[in-house]
Each structure stands twice: as structure tokens, then as C-alpha cells.
Chain A
């Protein structure tokens, strides 16, 4: 060891407080250097300067945030915050109730990246698993409410209620109910004969509106 050895500085480096950054940002220094050459930039700063217009570029220290802390430290900090919440038995109701998350669901869905990191199932072929799970949800809602059709979720009860009001205003007076005749779910399997109020105006008007809309359609695949 030479005389300049500063054990506390060395310890700080070994503690690796910003170690998470290189877990989150995947490319290594070597990879970054190679990719920078490929795109014609000298450094990450140079790339940022080239990509972001000068007029809006911020100072490098524009964000005043606490210094990075590692996973262990941040989990400890969050545990402390969680500890400041008092888990009294809330029997308040108003749309929120105690419930047991079945452990088999907690661990295998809520805590499972195979479920939580997926995207909206627009690419149906590679989303059959969660599509089936959502079909279960829809079926459960249909059964319990005794309605023929249910969607795959909205943001919360309050916005669902607001959506219902808006829809009601849009569709006008209630039509005669075609499904009274039999099993509610059977109705969903019959082709729509255009009797419902929802069909007022029909396809031709819809096409005209489509033509008029200046913004292109998304084909249902928007992000």
C-alpha cells in the first residue's frame, strides 16, 4: 500500500452506491463505446448534445435529486416508510375491503414478471395466456352481474361510473331488451341484427365519420 491510500474513500468506492445504475442501463462501457462509434458520436455527452436541440438543452445538474443509493439501502428506506403506515383493521368500506390475496396468486401472478412485464395483448398470438385470464375475468363479471357482455377492466369504479354515464348519454333512450327471452350469455353468441340503439346511424354514417376524421386511424394497435 502506498502512502496515499485513503481507506474511507476506498470503502466508499467498494460500497458501490450507484451500483443499480449498471443493472438498469444494460450496455456495458465497452458496448457503449462501440455503439457510439457506430452512430458517430464521441461520447454520451456528445450524443446528447447532438440529439437535443441547443435551445432546450438543460444544464447537466438541472435536477436536484438525492444521490443514488443501492438496492439494499433503498429497500431499507422503503421498509421504514412502510413501517410508518399503521395497519389498523379498516372496516370503512366505500368500495375498499380487506381481502386475502391467495398466496398462489400473489406469488405466481402479482410477483411474477411473466405476468407483470407483458404488454397489452395486441399481438394476440403471443398473448393467449393473459387473453384467457381476461376472458375468465369477463366471464366472472358477466355471471355475477347477470349481464351478457363485460369489458377487460377500466381504471376504477368511479371512472367506470363516469364512462357509463357518458355512454348512456351517447346511446339515447333504452331499446327493448332483446335478451330477455333467454340465457343472457346466449345473447352474446347471436349475431347482432342491428336492433339495438347502439346501431342507430348504422355503418354508413360510421364510414362517413371515418372519412371525415382528419387524424388517421390506429387500427387498434396503438400503444
Chain B
């Protein structure tokens, strides 16, 4: 594993080391800085097998550590092992190009007990921003930015040498490390002048330049060094200057005028369904309101422009916010301590499981390595357990989707002495408050295990019960579900963990910030001490504006909305699972499996048909294949819920019509959904049902029609012909021929 450029700025030719690694049968991983790669020979040309890094400096604020998009690039041979989601080009049912997530059946999704990655929520919004930064600046703009930053560094290096400092690395891109008698004092002088440098433990000092540094500031920096800006040092050595072109796809050259960019962004936005169009009733995802007032502070410089390793006395506002929010989340969970470091639910799971490991080890029970996980669990649970070094033992569920207590007892007894933990979601992934939860926790405790509660369904608990009340020892919360951080199209997220007092000494900490987390902690799970601190103001604002009574009301109305939907849809769809009183929790599962035999209709047909109504489908085929799981949240009005139910009921009538033979089994609006404007307006309408039924299935649709931009996407086609980058110029040329 190699850093390029190095953390103190060194730019080195990595070819020999990479070749030596390959010689020894190892892969070469390079952590690279994207901006430097505009000018430097890229790792791919040096033989790297994997290149990773952060896209933060492509137009994403520092935000005291996050959120930012990490990136991961690799060779073709490893495409199936690559963690995370991959967008690829495919085609739709009409043969037109269409995009979708590629290779969704990769091993990480399948081999759950053997998973190598637990990534789920990632950093889509930030990746979109970084990608658009490249679109906006284009190859020329990026080259200008990189060359400018580099020239500033070279000028500053010239001044440093003139002033008697030694350059630790004569080859550099944007970061200088200075040695010399005066180096230690320099950081102090800089601070007094309003600059944060990086003082190294060995007495050197590093200065990293960036696109925001002005000519005046560069002059001030030279003044601090004690020499004028007269000559430029060498910087990037000749042999490492990049010769290959970058960003040759047309998209990176087409939108440099602001009107063009504005309209490009608008065009893309209009193709999508988001919460500003209609409810997104995804079970387990809690797509509630992300209020504007919650979002506003995220862009303020006082939150956005703070470096995660800025001296603590410059970040008092953040530290106060973090302390208060942590305290409130302790109140919500009933736990003694909270860590805000994990960047998603998956990382919370990983952190919580490591805390449990450390707890057992501290009691001389390091052999405890069995993690029980019910078969109804979310895929991240076993993946996190495997990554944290546990052996996963799957426990069964009964017909009602509840943990099979007898099986749990048997497995807990069987692994007595090795039992480390149970991971359990509450309310269950089936959306039910299991009556037996305290017994479940008690069984695990009796056999020496700890209970990890997956808090994805916390929106049904806040103010009514708590992870501590059910008997759990540790839980994560998804602030991007229950506490209003928007999903961003697949991230950001924050997955803080709460722990009971006995686990508090084992929370994550951070080597660069000794004041963060307990000294006895196991280490960090994120790069930044407080993870994605930049979006914590969202959850802070939410809790502050709701108060305890408001939060409790939100939870109860979330349960009411789900039960109301269940009541409205029950005459039309079997509603699976309910608690002892016949109620669901905050979500409900509709069984669509019978429609296959009845009408040849699958759950996917219903999901795609909902798009003709302008709705996003509920969660499909999870946790039960062939079902839809609906979670309305408290933020949907009765009118919106009724609109959605009306759509579901109308779709059910179409299924019935197919079964009755009034609609054709193959040529019907469900099988051909979604319908595009192009086909509706075409002279030729080849279907056995009318156009109007296809595109305006209910009166409300007419009032604000959303047109799906493509027909149903063919996933298999794209996986057979994998294309995961923008089409190059040649494809456009061919299309024009």
C-alpha cells in the first residue's frame, strides 16, 4: 500500500515498488490525491491494482471531516470483488440506452456469511458534487487549478529555500514539508497570522496549498517564512509528469457556460423521483421530511470550512454541538454513551461489534467469537460481523417472522462459552414489535453474550420505548433515517452507536485526537474523529425543533400512518405479519406472491407500474421475496397516503382484470410499465389497452404527470456488456454515421 503523493508531500516514482509487490505475488494499492493526478503520472500507468482516495477537494466542503466521497478504482479482473455500488450502461425494453446499478449479484450480496464488505449507504450526493465539479471545470479547468496550486507550492518552496529551510521532499505537488531550526516556531507564527500548518512530531512543518489560497495569502505565507516570492522550485520531476489526456468524454466539455450547466443539472434532476415530487414509501428506509431549516446551516462557512484536524480551540462550536447531540441521543436510546464517528449504519454495526469484542477480551473472554443473527436480518449485519472477526450462526424465524425463541435457545446453549453477541433489529425487519424481545435478550445475556440492536427501525421507538428498555447493550442509529439527514440518493449517512455503561470504555477513539473517545477504545472506524460532522447540524436542528413531546408524536403518527395504510390496503392485498394486537409497527408488508399464479404478475411489475403514477415503489422483495414493504413515515399527509393507496388499489384491479381475462396476460399495462412520453405520443400504439390507461391511470396523475424517461431497464444485458464509464467520443461519432 502506497500513498501518492505522501502525507508530507513527497512525490515518488512507484513503478519499482509496484513491480516488486507483483513479483512477490502481492497486489499494489495506491492511495492517491485526485487533483495531483491531473499533473502526475497516474497510478494506473504505474501498474497499480487498486487506487483509492477522497474526492473531497473537488468542490465538497471540509465540514470538520465529512461527508465526502471516498473513491475506489481497480482493474477489470476484480470487478466482481469490488466493494460498493457500480453504475453501468444498459438498455431499456425499447432498446434505448439506460443506466442502472450493475452487477448487483456480486459476491458481497450473495455470500453473506463470507462477505468482504458491509458497505450499503455510501456518499452519492458528494460523489455527484465531485463529478459535477469535473463537468463544470472540464479538463482545461482542472489542469489550470492543478497547475496554479502547484506553482504556488513551487513559489513558496523557492521562498522557503531562500529563507534557509530545507525541503524534506524536493519532488512535491502541493504540500511542502520544511525542516530547519526555525521550523518548529513557524507553525506558531502561522497560527498567530490566521493559518493552520501541520506541525510534525519530528519538528518539521507541513504546508498544504489548495485552490482557495489567494495571491495575497501566498505573499503572507512567504512573509511568515521570511523570504520573498521570487523563484519557483522544481516540484514535479520530469519523469512523473502526466502525458495522457484526462476527461475526454464529451460531458466534460459541454457545460462550461453557466446556462448550459444550470440546464444540464435541471434536466438530470427532472428525470428523477425525489421527495419533492411524491412520497417514497420505502420500508426500512424512513424517507421522512428533510426540513429546509435543518439543511440551511450545512452550507454556512462556520460549519463547512473547518478542517477535521484544526486545533480544538478553533472548533468550540462543533464540540458543543457534538456534546449536546450525543447527550440527546443518550436520552433517546436510554444508553450511557454515544459515538458519532461511524459514517453509516453499516459502520455503526462494525464499531458496535468491535466494542463487544473488546469488552469480552477485557474480561479474559477473547474466545467469544460467535455472533447469532436471525435469518430475517439485513445483509449488512452478517457482513459487519464477518468483518469484525466473528463466526456467524444464523438463527431461524417462525412463520410470523419473529425470532424463533426455541432455536435461539438451542443455538445459544450450543455455543455457550463462545457466544459473543446477538444482532437483532427492533421492531423486527418485518415491521413488528416482537412481544418476546426481552426474553430474547435475556437468553443471550444468560449465555454470556451481548445484544446488538440494529436501529434502522428506530422511528417506531423514539419516545415510546428504547434500545435500553428492550434489553440491548449497544445499538446504532441511522441519523439518515430517524433523524432527518437526507438520503442524498444513496448517502451521506451517519450511524452513531449508543452503548450501555459497561461498553462505554470500548467506543471508537482517534489517534490524532486524544480527546475523542475513551483511551481504552479500539481505534477509529472513520478517517475523521467525528465522522461526517458537517451534517450533524441537521439532526441537532430536528431534535431541537421537535422536543421530547414532538418526537413522541412523530413516532406515534408514523405508527398510525402505517396502520392506516395497512387498513386501507388489507381488502386488496394480504398484509403479512402483525403484533399481538393485530397492529403493525411503522411499516407493513403486502404479499404479492399470489399474483404470479393468478395473473403472471410479479412484484417488479407492480413496482414499475407505480412509476406511471409518479411513485417510487416500496421496498421490493425484502425481507420477504415477492412482497412490498411500505413505510409512510409521519411526514406524509393523509391526502398523499390516500393517493398512494388509490394507486395500489387501481393496480390491484389491473391484476384482477388480467386474472379475469379482460386484460391480456402478456400485453397489459403492468408488463409494459413504465410508459414513456415517447411511446405515448408515437403514431403507432401497439398495445391491447388504451394509451390513456397506460399514462393517466387515475385522474390525479393528469394534474402533474411525471414521465419516466426510459422503459424498463434490462439488467442482464448491461451485466453481459459491462460499461461503467461515459461513452467516449467514438460512440457519438458512430451514432452520427
Stretch among B299-307, B361-369, B650-658, B680-688 lining the A interface: B299-307
Q: How far is the CA of A74 from the CA of B550 in the complex (A)?
A: 15
Residues 53-95 of chain A, each 1 if its beta carbon lies under 8 Å from chain B, else 0: 1011110111111111111001101111111111111111111
A145–B724 Cα distance when bound, in Å, is: 15
Query: How many residues of B are counted as interface, with CB atoms below 8 angstroms from the partner's CB atoms?
Result: 280
Residues of A within 8 A of B509 (CB): none
Determine the chain B residues whose CB is within 8 A of the CB of A173 once the complex forms.
25-26
Chain A residues within 8 Å of B579, by CB: 51, 53
Chain B residues 64-79 with CB under 8 Å of chain A are: 64-79
A164 in contact with B134 (CB, 8 Å): no
A98 to B25, CA, bound (A): 39
**Segment of B110-118, B443-451, B589-597, B663-671 engaged in the interface with chain A:** B110-118
Residues of B with C-beta under 8 A to A122: 101, 620
Asked if A204 CB lies within 8 Å of chain B CBs, one says no
A86 surroundings in chain B (CB, below 8 A): 310, 313-315
Q: Is B413 an interface residue (CB 8 A)?
A: no
Contact A155/B541 with A64-B331, A197-B77 known, Cβ cut-off 8 Å: no
Nearest B residue (CB) for A214: B394
- Would A215 and B469 count as touching, CB distance under 8 A? no
A11 adjacent to chain B (CB < 8 Å): no
Taking a contact as CB atoms under 8 Å apart, the answer to whether A119 and B82 are in contact is no
Q: Which residue of A lies closest to B306 (CB)?
A: A85
Chain B residues lying within 8 Å of A78, measured Cβ to Cβ, are 297, 300, 321, 537, 540-541
B714 closest partner in A (C-beta): A124
- Whether, in the assembled complex, A4 has its beta carbon less than 8 Å from a beta carbon of chain B, the answer is no
B62→A74 contact, CB < 8 A: no
CA distance in complex: A108, B220 (Å)? 35
A24-B289, A105-B136 given; A223·B282 CB < 8 A: yes
Q: What's the interface size class on A, roughly?
A: 35 or more
> Which A residues from 139 to 184 make CB contacts under 8 A with B?
139-161, 163-168, 170-171, 173-175, 177-179, 184
Let me know if B212 and A18 touch, CB within 8 A.
no
Distance of A35 Cα from B486 Cα, bound (Å):
27
Q: B637–A18 contact, CB under 8 A?
A: no
User: By the criterion CB–CB under 8 Å, are B62 and A91 in contact?
Assistant: no
Do B7 and A222 touch (CB < 8 A)? no
Contact bitstring B485-528, A, C-beta under 8 A = 1, else 0: 01111110000000000000000000000000000000011111
B222 within 8 A of A: no
Q: Is B399 an interface residue (CB 8 A)?
A: no
Cα-based distance from A72 to B61 in the complex (angstroms): 25
**Which single residue of chain B is at the shortest CB-CB distance from A152?**
B85
In the bound assembly, the distance between CA atoms of A45 and B559 in angstroms comes to 11
Distance from B283 Cβ to chain A, minimum over Cβ atoms (Å) = 7
CB atoms of A64 and B246 under 8 A apart: no
Nearest residue (CB) in A for B674 is A125
Of B127, B194, B272, B620, which is within 8 A of A221 by CB? Answer: B620
Among the listed stretches B157-165, B226-234, B459-467, which one makes contact with chain A, having 4 or more residues with CB under 8 Å of it? B459-467
The 8 Å CB contact of B109, one of A35, A110, A218, is A218
Total A-B contacts with CB atoms under 8 angstroms apart: 799
- Asked if B182 is an interface residue, CB under 8 A from chain A, the answer is no
Q: Are B71 and A129 in contact (CB under 8 A)?
A: no
A137 to B137, CA, bound (A): 13
Is B416's CB within 8 Å of the partner chain A? no
Q: What CA separation (Å) do A92 and B300 show in the bound complex?
A: 21
Are B276 and A113 in contact, CB atoms less than 8 angstroms apart?
yes
Whole-angstrom distance between the Cβ of B586 and the nearest chain A Cβ: 9
Asked if B394 contacts A105 (CB within 8 A), the reply is no
- Knowing A35-B564, A85-B302, A174-B22, the reply to whether A161 touches B52 (Cβ < 8 A) is yes
B194/A88 in contact, CB under 8 A: yes
Residue in A closest to B86 when the chains form the complex, CB atoms: A151
Complex: chain A residue closest to B525, CB-CB:
A159
In the complex, A105→B262 CA distance in Å?
9
Task: Choose from B37, B135, B197, B258 the contact partner of A145 (Cβ within 8 Å).
Answer: B37
Given contacts A104-B136, A104-B261, A124-B100, contact A38 B487 (CB under 8 A): no
**A residues less than 8 Å from B339 (CB atoms):** none
State whether the Cβ of B406 lies closer than 8 Å to any Cβ in chain A.
no
Residues of B with C-beta under 8 A to A149: 73-76, 78-79, 82, 86, 724
Given contacts A82-B317, A198-B81, contact A158 B524 (CB under 8 A): yes
Is A126 positioned at the interface, with any CB of B under 8 Å from its CB?
yes
Given the interface pairs A101-B59, A157-B70, A220-B104, the reply to whether A120 lies near B490 with Cβ below 8 Å is yes
CB-CB under 8 A from A71, the residues of chain B are 291, 293, 545
CB of B690 within 8 Å of the partner chain: no
A161 to B53, CA, bound (A): 8
User: Can you give 27 contacting A-B residue pairs, CB < 8 Å?
Assistant: A53-B579, A56-B437, A58-B463, A79-B302, A80-B317, A90-B62, A92-B198, A92-B208, A96-B62, A99-B61, A109-B129, A116-B487, A118-B489, A120-B487, A126-B272, A130-B268, A137-B55, A149-B86, A153-B122, A154-B119, A155-B343, A155-B526, A156-B66, A158-B526, A159-B343, A198-B78, A223-B619
Q: Given contact pairs A116-B295, A125-B711, A138-B725, enumerate 18 new A-B contacts (beta carbons under 8 Å).
A: A21-B547, A25-B557, A44-B557, A57-B465, A68-B549, A95-B56, A96-B307, A106-B299, A108-B262, A108-B265, A110-B299, A115-B489, A139-B249, A144-B38, A149-B79, A159-B525, A177-B75, A192-B79
